Chain A
Amino acid sequence: MSRFSVHCVAGLMAGLLLAGCGKPPAVEAAAGGKPPADWANPGANAVQARDASTPEQALFVEKCGMCHREMGMGTVILARRQPADRAILERREDLTPELIHVAVRTGIINMPRIPRGEVSDEQLEAIIRHLVKVKP
């Protein structure tokens, strides 16, 4: 029962912005975590784009998008470790087939491994083709 808190959407968005400036929030930087002015629907905007223009991208959205598009767990955590523009995998230009393969099958830190029952070897190859070829 991992319950959602509306603070998180606002806080994570603020976190993503700060990470974009290359500065993790510090104890003193109290202004960074203030909720946005538009508070009419707190908790809104957790929704992510689920669109795809190729079969490979559709597979990426189905298998990876929940964590690696906007507001995904992977995006949120990656934004803490590197500049925010590198947190969205589909905007990266430095992903290699080897790196993607290792991340998926062995997991990375907080990312659980993806078993072959969930993403077959053929499907993984298609996802790799999408990530290696996509450019912003």
Chain B
Amino acid sequence: MQPQAIDPSMLARAISALRAAIGEKNVFTAEDDRVAYSDHYAPDESVHRPSGGLAPATVDEVRAVVRIANEFRIPLWPISRGKNFGYGGPAPVLKGSLVLDLSRMKRIEIDEENGTVLVEPGVSFFDLYDFIQARKLPLWLSVPGNSWGSVVGNALDRGVGYTPYGDHAARICGLEVVLPEGDLVRTGMGAMGNSKSWQLYKPGFGPSWDTMFCQSNFGIVTKMGLWLMPEPESVLGFDIEFDKPEDIGWAVDVLAPLRRDGVIQQSPSFGNWMRSAAVMTRREQWAKPDQMLDETAISAIRKHFNIGWWSVQIRTYGPLEINEATNRHVQKAFNGKKVLAMKPSRWVKGDKPLGSPVSGTPISFPLANANWFSGRGGHVSYSPVLPPRGDLALKQFQRTKALYDRYGMDYHASFSMGERSMTNVNQVLFDRDNPVMAANLDRIFRALVVDAKEQGYGEYRTHIDYMDVVAETFDFNQHALRRLNEKVKDALDPRGILAPGKSGIWPAGRRGARA
């Protein structure tokens, strides 16, 4: 059998068995369904077209689906809600897989006193927000730029938000997982049948497995424990604009120590003018289709929207008397620095609700950047992780900008400040109906990978088209990490049914499909 092949007769038998197991109306194999589970923002959707979708409603049904997939050796591609746009949406790496859609699993159990929640994969950030608001609980979410998606799926893919709880994977506390052969396991303290601290203590006893299920294909997470931020007494901070592209260098050096020593506990993200402009306006209003956006056009956009070449929002959280001191400390760090503008921001408990992602309000409008080219747009990101140093940020910006110019793309970047690292998100917006641009998208992505690899930088998360390309760069000791991943894969999933190719991890029998 070819490594990519899925046996049509086995598939047909699997689908009959699946219909019997979870109900005819929860198995979707019409052409419309196959299209609906494709990557809506890809230049060519057919590359990752699935054979259909399945939507079980309970963990028992998920286990039944997994057993059937093993019996007929049909690959499953689990999605929580399938809103990971820019990374493939609901679509599988391996064409012809069945998408295991967990959207219908929407249970929420909240522990108000301890500020934790146990959620199923179908719960979106909006669902959880509505649940908390309906009960008027003093707990805040951390939401990503597109909060349409799943709380569970985003954390498993190591998504990020804007509050001190913005490293979502780091706030996971206990999982329930269906393993690839159908066994059911609970991690951490949940491994005790009557545990009272599943969502309270992360490590458990012996090895800790939670991170093993992030960005992997080792199991299907059916429940996730997460910590939620208690509503703080105050949120203070600054919105800072920078006039020149070179300002990124010194600005990173101002923030890096404040992140390292914990004065700033969220991850401020320097975004260039395009990050804001692509959401607020369309390209055709500023330039002709084949014309590059030169400094004149960029200046016009910046002037119109009153934005810097770079901008950053810094927020600090906590009791007001502590927070005011913290904020003064942040302000002092910028003393004597040449910023274009530095606007203070202040919210204190009792003020009208902040209603912003910095207070965990879910949003979807940043995805309006899909409309940058007016027609059918798409976006893909390349996001290497760097040491948090200004000189490296400046060089990274210069090299990357040159590649965007070479391939005719509009430079769209941010540098997000972690505690010990800096993630440089390079978003490539493109017009899906422009074949030249689609071809250049692939070229620039591969060029960005090569460039970052030369510098010793690797990516934190990637699109389904490039999982093998990125995995290839993790090459210590002739790809020892890949050998480990695939040894684990074969042990847990001997028939290779779960998400073949996810993060470059292929099961035995399909390794020839590696791109």
Contact = CB atoms under 8 A, between A and B. Distances in A.
Nearest to A40: B346
B313 A72 contact: no
Interface in A15-35: 15, 24-27, 29-30, 32-35
A126 interface: no
Contact of B356 (A32, A46, A67, A118): A46
Interface string A1-25: 1111111110110010000000011
Contact of A8 (B280, B358, B370, B460): B280
Contacts of B353: 44, 47
A116 interface: yes
A43 B356 contact: yes
Contact of B279 (A11, A24, A116): A11
B351 interface: yes
A110 interface: yes
Nearest to A65: B126
B70 interface: no
A35 B241 CA distance: 14
Contact of A80 (B363, B371, B425, B427): B371
B366 A114 contact: no
For B54, B101, B281, the residue with the greatest tally of chain A CB atoms inside 10 Å of its CB is B281
A85 to B, nearest CB: 18
Contacts, number: 216
B127 A106 contact: no
A113 interface: yes
Contacts of A66: 124, 126, 147-148, 362, 364
A59 to B, nearest CB: 12
A76 B35 contact: no
A112 B89 contact: yes
Interface of B: 25-26, 28, 32-33, 35-37, 40-41, 53-55, 81-82, 85-86, 89-90, 99, 101, 103-104, 124, 126-127, 129-130, 133, 144-148, 159-160, 162, 239, 269, 271, 275-276, 279-282, 285-286, 300, 303-307, 311, 313, 343, 345-347, 351-358, 361-371, 375-377, 381, 383, 414, 416, 423, 425, 427, 460-461
5 contacts: A41-B351, A42-B343, A43-B358, A112-B85, A115-B90
A96 interface: no
B365 A12 contact: yes
A1 B383 contact: yes
Contacts of B362: 66
Interface in A53-88: 61-62, 65-67, 71-74, 76-77, 80
A2 B86 contact: yes
A115 B370 CA distance: 20
Helix, strand, loop or mixed for chain B's interface?
Answer: mixed
Given A46-B361, A113-B40, A120-B25, 11 more contacts: A1-B159, A1-B414, A5-B275, A41-B354, A46-B365, A62-B130, A66-B148, A66-B362, A113-B36, A118-B101, A121-B25
Say what secondary structure dominates the interface of chain A.
Answer: loop
B304 A1 contact: no
Contacts of A130: none
B377 A110 contact: yes
A76 B306 contact: no
Interface residues of A, number: 58
A30 B304 contact: yes
A33 B37 contact: no
A50 interface: yes
Interface string A92-136: 000000000000011101101111111011000000000000000
Contacts of B54: 117
A91 B120 CA distance: 33
Contacts of A109: 371, 375-376
A20 to B, nearest CB: 16
A100 B271 CA distance: 36
Given A32-B304, A42-B239, A8 B271 contact: no
Contacts of B276: 5, 7-8, 11
Contacts of A25: 281, 285, 304
Contacts of B351: 41
B343 A117 contact: no
Contacts of A115: 28, 33, 36-37, 53, 82, 90, 99, 101, 103
Nearest to B375: A109
B40 A112 contact: yes
Nearest to B376: A109
Given A12-B279, A43-B356, A76-B365, A7 B311 contact: yes
A120 to B, nearest CB: 7
Contacts of B307: 7
A67 B125 CA distance: 13
A76 B146 CA distance: 14
B361 to A, nearest CB: 5
A1 B104 contact: no
B36 to A, nearest CB: 4
